[in-house]
Chains A and B, each alone.
Chain A
């Protein structure tokens, strides 16, 4: 019975991947739609994961490949959901497959075209800290491992000349005439797993992001730590390439604030602690400070993880949120001003580098996708659960389920558990149709 039913999963991050694998392994046909060139999502960008300190891509890549190889999963990358009609048991979905200008079936991902391509642009995967070519694989473990031509930067598309990639492609995969294609799918149920985005920390101008070179976002810092990142894992100040000797993390940038984002983002205290430990592993001499408000240690093993950072690695936790960061224009060092409540005094401390931990906020296209699917968003703009307690992955539309960070901020474990929950509910409603 179940073999005939298919489920559409929107979003190819860890939540979408897990939901797809659970369902396909139960015999359902899964359409996994991802708007970017590769599946993997945010987790692919992380260096390590807390509290086990696993290499993030190393534990994710096998799951990505499983999706690619699974006979029950149809992977639709570089694709978007444009229209959904029908109801549970019989959704009809219009998918737009954007042109990669490369034949996915022919491309072997050898990378010769990228080597030959003359155009270099900042690599989004590396949070624009590294470079990529105009024809590129976003990261080495990308799935599918095929190249994509970035139309906005390709010389042929901008100036009408070049095509050097096409000349060097031995597989004959480059196709400058590729058109956007539409496909109509039918699905019995739909799972939305499109994730969240980072709060725009420029709104908290007192911390100087964008103005001061050595003020980074935590996700930028992740790429800087990563062995596959732009520096090959070498920790360096962006202003001069030198190894930082004092680094400070600032928690709750935008979060827990009546002015910006009212809620807590759940994962930041722990990932900052992880990054702090990684600094110590890279550069044991480096002093690390974490400025926080309340340490969120609610998860399994979290408190022990903080204790390890503090007691074993010597990470210093400061119970204060800084008022401002000021750059010394000569040295590009950063002076952090904060109120030491315990001593009731304004204090300042000088560091080489500041890492901001921004709030996780709803994606800007949530409204559009909610509109297409007929879903309700909550007061913050996340997808709304039918009942936070007893139907956490159900929505207002029967047969459409949500999981991962598009429902609200959460860490990887919770996203994975919730993804399995969404898969369970999708399978259950399909079973009840009969």
Chain B
């Protein structure tokens, strides 16, 4: 992979004017003249705009004419322009990693615009450093891997099924794994869904039929994922069905759609002690089964076990709307029933939900705002009637209400087995215990590990529409590697010097991508020898492992110690 033969290093240096962005401050001809004096520099030239097609052609011509095998462009930021110059090197027949960039705009002319002479000296320093590194640059290969065009979807709720259908309709094979005996997840327990008031069961039936009749979807019921090995494109999955039968298959991508549980508020507000203190989920079931009797008064308490000072600090997003919806349903059944909703901040966000709040108030539902400091209390029970006291902050006084039924809105919480799955897939859980995406803003569906995605309530509380959106999004993200079939992986990866490695596993502990693992080698020796192995397809080249290695056994390709040292020495010694 690395070239071993001795070659004469011939570096070309191209110094960009960037209009006047650089040359207005830095004396470009002087930098070019200086570059010519540096060891191994075979050619140097100034260019008005290195990035213009004209400028790129000039670089290519010079590469051929002067037989250059390393290229330095001194211009702007590699963040935006490195890919362009690398591509130019490739077009001229060189490996793209023999290119190095010196940023004499953002790091020099722009920030030292009032000191042209010193800026020129700094530009020379930056060019000298880049040349020092260029001298040691090596060709790098981007390994290509084939992608198995099939996906594993863990969880057969509405999110998992939505993602499965979308991918299956694209022609990808889908393994849909559900640990329960039937598909449907949380929706099986729900009655009507806000804001369209459709029957959950009706829509669920349709979706399950579509999943079952889709020949690209293989459903695995009563099945759990036991082991996942490999990386994007080729994950080897072992599942266990019915606690006995084991099966193995290979997939290119994985979607986590394991859903969430509902918090059981044992010991709170008399839950578990009084039969008429129930959860919102229980109310759904009563409404669904038509078993809710006519009651004189009902009290709903929001944020039970949610938005706490410590512990479950998060808001569960869906409870306010669920309460509003169920309150309206009760009013529809029994208009005389008096309903109180005790809340902290009503989460009627988005374009639809505020209207519901207005509707509920118009129908005479009572809203009482309380604070975390003075939460409501169930203070007494007499002949099946519960007395709830609450400090109404809008009235500025404590009120006591007697009720036939107290309904507790409790948050969605992560499932118990999520931790195991998180370890198996090497994907993280956040401080709220839900699966943690790669980036809160721009990668809300991806995990940091390539090829694994998350959707639905496994990622955090969400309503059905939001879960469906995210599930479709996960299908899109997973389709990317599967549609292009072949992947080029990162060339800048870690390499381990196995002679030096002691197998201490610190690299394994710090790697966020699960890309380096300590493995046993020479198993015939009585004392097992452990050595770190890099899974190149998974490595992002971040360098964390190289830093963590106490004996310097890990080197980063393209950012090797000797290359960095050469730059530092060039900077401080001035040669």
Contact = CB atoms under 8 A, between A and B. Distances in A.
Contact of A414 (B171, B466, B475, B476): B466
A387 interface: yes
B263 interface: no
Interface in A233-257: 256
B465 A300 contact: no
B472 interface: yes
B473 to A, nearest CB: 3
Interface string A19-58: 0001001110000000000000000000001011010000
B476 A264 contact: no
B48 interface: yes
A390 B307 contact: no
B349 A392 contact: no
Interface string B345-375: 1111111111100100000000000000000
A171 B53 CA distance: 11
A264 B38 CA distance: 63
A256 B354 contact: yes
Contacts of A69: 83-84
Nearest to A418: B469
B344 to A, nearest CB: 8
A410 B441 CA distance: 12
B441 A52 contact: yes
Interface stretch (B133-141, B398-406, B432-440): B432-440
B170 A409 contact: no
B393 interface: yes
B530 to A, nearest CB: 37
A170 B351 contact: no
Contacts of B396: 341-344
A62 B441 CA distance: 14
A270 B407 CA distance: 29
B213 interface: no
A147 B483 CA distance: 37
A422 B479 CA distance: 13
A51 B444 CA distance: 13
Given A69-B83, A297-B307, A409 B350 contact: yes
A170 B439 CA distance: 42
Contacts of A389: 193, 195-196, 198, 203, 463-465, 468
Which of A54, A258, A264 has the most CB atoms of chain B within a 10 A radius of its CB? Answer: A264
B80 A65 contact: yes
B476 A423 contact: yes
A263 B317 contact: no
B469 A264 contact: no
A388 B434 contact: no
Nearest to A143: B80
Contacts of B445: 417, 420
B20 interface: yes
A270 to B, nearest CB: 10
B476 A424 contact: yes
A385 B351 CA distance: 12
A410 B470 CA distance: 14
B350 A52 contact: no
Contacts of B314: 300-304
Contacts of A291: none
A264 B480 contact: no
Nearest to A304: B313
Contact of A417 (B313, B432, B444): B444
A428 B170 contact: yes
A161 interface: no
A378 B480 CA distance: 32
A424 B465 contact: no
A143 B163 CA distance: 33
Contact of B476 (A266, A341, A388, A420): A420
A421 B442 contact: no
A127 interface: no
Contact of B19 (A170, A303, A417): A170
Contacts of B466: 414
Interface string B163-197: 00010011100000000000000000000010110
A199 interface: no
B53 to A, nearest CB: 8
A347 B347 CA distance: 27
Given A417-B445, A431-B169, A303 B469 contact: no
A2 interface: yes
B189 to A, nearest CB: 16
A157 interface: no
Contacts, number: 209
A372 interface: no
A385 B469 CA distance: 11
B18 A418 contact: no
A391 B471 CA distance: 11
A108 B479 contact: no
B469 A392 contact: yes
Interface in A206-241: none
Interface residues of A, number: 79
A424 B472 contact: yes
A393 interface: yes
B434 A421 contact: no
B382 interface: no
A382 B352 CA distance: 11
A77 to B, nearest CB: 17
A80 B258 CA distance: 42
Given A26-B484, A341-B396, A390-B464, A51 B440 contact: yes
Contacts of A65: 80
Nearest to A340: B396
B572 interface: no
Contacts of B84: 69
B51 interface: yes
A183 to B, nearest CB: 22
Given A264-B354, A342-B396, A425 B166 contact: yes
A427 interface: yes
Nearest to A266: B349
A313 B389 CA distance: 34
A178 interface: no
A302 B347 CA distance: 12
Nearest to B464: A389
B505 interface: no
Contacts of B347: 294, 296-298
B171 A431 contact: yes
A432 B165 CA distance: 12
A51 B434 CA distance: 16
Interface string A84-113: 000000000000000000000000101110
A421 B169 contact: no
Interface string A148-192: 000000000000000000000011000000000000000000000
8 closest Cβ pairs, A-B complex:
A110-B19, A420-B473, A421-B472, A424-B476, A408-B351, A294-B345, A26-B483, A298-B317
Given A111-B20, A390-B464, A432-B169, 19 more contacts: A49-B441, A65-B80, A108-B19, A111-B19, A170-B19, A263-B354, A300-B314, A300-B434, A303-B307, A341-B393, A382-B351, A388-B195, A392-B465, A409-B350, A412-B441, A417-B473, A424-B476, A424-B479, A425-B472
29 contacts: A61-B80, A63-B442, A111-B20, A111-B21, A112-B20, A170-B48, A258-B358, A262-B354, A264-B350, A266-B349, A294-B345, A296-B345, A297-B345, A300-B460, A301-B430, A303-B315, A388-B196, A390-B203, A390-B468, A408-B352, A414-B444, A416-B441, A416-B443, A420-B472, A420-B477, A421-B472, A421-B476, A424-B472, A424-B475
Interface of A: 2, 14, 18, 22, 25-27, 49, 51-52, 54, 59-63, 65, 69, 108, 110-112, 115, 170-171, 256, 258, 262-264, 266, 294-304, 307, 319, 341-344, 378, 380, 382, 385, 387-393, 408-410, 412-414, 416-425, 427-428, 431-432
